[in-house]
């Protein structure tokens, strides 16, 4: 079917009866000359408007700019698998049990009454976006974000992965102490049937206190080509065994220490591969997993704070046109921080210090009790306000920043119920001060697991979207570094040389507006002029 075959712009001039039928499986249909539907694709033409700034003498000159892009989105999702590094950990067992519970639409009893499976906490599955305004009532029309474009449903994901602990997932779920006993009993049989594949274990990169869990490891204690090939074969075998169209690999294992960036070792793609071949000790397990995934064209996402994507790894992904994304799940304390700091600074309030303290008792906390691993987390938590501060040159002079300290303590008794205490100290009118204190109790894995789902769903979608400048012949994919995942990550990666955005509202708008562009819709501007101009 080629609905745009006679249209030199590549798009139909409105919805034909055939196109309307083709689009009926969607939650909505865009009736526009800028959108064309076929059984296989959604094609859109999008006018991207920006403002370019030039400085002339002492003046700032703003010039509106407009560029036209074509987007092509494949509609067939296919069968998708997820391979988690750290499958037997708190997050791995929680997300697996959660998907099983949702797939079977389970209900269970708790001391607070009955509960039912849901995907609360997932921006894709449980949030809505404004589609537009009702032509009759003038009210906003909101739809689930998941219905903006064809997306894989988490119930349909096939889950597997690796862990340095050989426990089956039922035993690992008990060890994690996250889920209600009644829920665990309902999924125990299926969880017991899942056992993690052996993983690679380089003791220098994670805390020594993790050694007692390492009973399921691939021989060898430093990077080598055999480890890369072993992981590649695991991905291929998993894909073949389940008849999958694609696999997403996601790191939810222990936080590693930061890898030193060493010229000649990991600064270029060639040097990184040479270092792996030579068995250099400064190549981390997560980087080995990333390299293997890149070679298998499986998107790789880093959910921990270490610098998995050393410069050589990013260049390697670019060379292979493979997708990577990271770093560090943004679930509780940091998500609050990125929202609150954005609000305060946009309100003209000068934040002068942030003190963040948390204690937790799960295995993540145990691993982070080691100083080198804590340093990785400290870096990812400390940089989340930089772009918001830099955006306000009225409140802050160049290179001025609020004081910012982060403390994490391991307290076994509290388990997965992390306690986070934050104090925000700000300067207000005429030298006055405002102090905001927040005490946040987060069930850590129950917040992180929906983020895993979001990262997988959005990364998979990005494999089906291509774009081109208007007038170009060939479509191309997004850049290898998936900055669109930023909303879910503490230390979001962007393509080299591009700015990092940490403000939560901007991150969500970027995600939503890319989805809107793929169906030919302008960003929703919230001016509501239709209610103001009479």
The verdict on whether 328 is a catalytic residue reads yes
Helix (H, G, I), strand (E, B) or coil at 198: strand
Interatomic CA distance for residues 105 and 247, integer angstroms: 25
Interatomic CA distance for residues 23 and 34, integer angstroms: 15
User: Of the listed 70, 328, 342, 422, which one is catalytic?
Assistant: 328
User: Of the listed 45, 72, 184, 418, which one is catalytic?
Assistant: 418
Interatomic CA distance for residues 125 and 110, integer angstroms: 24
The H-assigned helical ranges of 158-268 are 169-176, 181-192, 225-241
Distance of CA 187 to the CA centre of its chain: 27
Q: Which residues pair with 53 in a beta bridge?
A: 62
| Cβ pair 289, 125 in contact under 8 A | no
| Cβ pair 379, 428 in contact under 8 A | no
Helix (H, G, I), strand (E, B) or coil at 419: strand
User: Of the listed 184, 195, 350, 490, which one is catalytic?
Assistant: 490
Interatomic CA distance for residues 157 and 78, integer angstroms: 10
Q: Which of 250, 231, 384, 223 is nearest to 296 (CA)?
A: 231
Pairing mode of beta strands 324-326, 300-302: parallel
User: Of the listed 330, 335, 377, 381, which one is catalytic?
Assistant: 377
Helix (H, G, I), strand (E, B) or coil at 334: helix
The verdict on whether 260 is a catalytic residue reads no
The verdict on whether 490 is a catalytic residue reads yes
Residues composing the chain: 534
What is the rounded end-to-end Cα distance, in angstroms, of the chain? 45
| Cβ pair 90, 445 in contact under 8 A | yes
The verdict on whether 366 is a catalytic residue reads no
- Catalytic residues, by residue number, are 328, 377, 418, 490
């Amino acid at each position: 079917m080629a609905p745009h075959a006679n249209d030199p712009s590549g798009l139909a001039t409105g919805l034909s009866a055939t196109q309307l039928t083709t689009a009926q499986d969607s939650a909505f249909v865009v009736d526009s000359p800028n959108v064309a539907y076929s059984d296989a694709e959604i094609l859109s033409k999008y006018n991207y408007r920006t403002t370019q700034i030039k400085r002339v003498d002492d003046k700032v000159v703003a010039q509106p700019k407009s560029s036209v892009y074509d987007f092509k989105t494949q509609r067939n999702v296919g069968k998708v698998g997820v391979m988690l590094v750290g499958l037997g950990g708190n997050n791995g067992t929680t997300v697996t049990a959660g998907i099983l519970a949702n797939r079977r639409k389970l209900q269970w009893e708790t001391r607070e009454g009955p509960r039912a499976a849901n995907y609360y906490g997932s921006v894709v599955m449980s949030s809505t976006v404004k589609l537009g305004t009702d032509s009759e009532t003038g009210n906003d029309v909101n739809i689930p974000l998941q219905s903006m474009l064809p997306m894989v449903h988490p119930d349909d994901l096939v889950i597997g992965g690796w862990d340095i602990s050989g426990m089956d997932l039922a035993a690992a779920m008990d060890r994690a102490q996250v889920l209600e006993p009644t829920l665990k009993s309902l999924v125990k049989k299926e969880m017991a049937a899942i056992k993690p594949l052996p993983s690679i274990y380089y003791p220098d990169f994670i805390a020594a206190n993790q050694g007692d869990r390492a009973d399921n490891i691939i021989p060898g204690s430093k990077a080598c080509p055999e480890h890369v090939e072993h992981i590649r074969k695991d991905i291929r075998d998993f894909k073949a065994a389940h008849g999958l169209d694609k696999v997403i690999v996601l790191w939810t294992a222990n936080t590693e220490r930061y890898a030193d960036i060493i010229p000649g070792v990991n600064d270029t793609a060639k040097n990184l591969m040479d270092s792996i071949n030579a068995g250099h000790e400064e190549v981390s397990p997560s980087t080995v997993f990333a390299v293997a995934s890149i070679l298998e064209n499986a998107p790789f996402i880093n959910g921990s704070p270490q610098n998995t994507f050393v410069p050589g790894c990013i260049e390697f992904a670019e060379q292979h046109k493979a997708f990577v994304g990271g770093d560090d799940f943004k679930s509780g304390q940091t998500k609050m921080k990125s929202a609150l700091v954005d609000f305060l600074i946009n309100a003209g309030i000068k934040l002068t210090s942030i003190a963040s303290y948390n204690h937790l008792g799960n295995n993540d906390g145990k691993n982070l009790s080691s100083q080198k691993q804590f340093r990785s987390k400290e870096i990812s938590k400390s940089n989340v306000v930089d772009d918001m501060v830099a955006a306000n040159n009225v409140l802050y002079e160049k290179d001025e920043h609020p004081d910012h300290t982060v403390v994490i303590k391991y307290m076994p008794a509290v388990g997965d119920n992390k306690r986070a205490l934050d104090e925000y100290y700000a300067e207000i009118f005429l030298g006055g001060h405002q102090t905001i204190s927040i005490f946040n109790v987060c069930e850590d894995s129950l917040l992180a697991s929906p983020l895993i789902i979001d990262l997988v769903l959005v990364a998979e979608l990005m494999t089906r979207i291509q774009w081109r400048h208007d007038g170009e012949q060939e479509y191309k994919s997004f850049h290898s570094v998936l900055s669109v995942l930023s909303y879910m990550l503490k230390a979001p990666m962007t393509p080299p040389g591009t700015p990092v955005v940490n403000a939560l509202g901007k991150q969500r708008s970027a995600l939503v507006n890319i989805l809107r562009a793929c169906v030919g819709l302008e960003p929703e501007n919230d001016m509501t002029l239709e209610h103001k101009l009479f």
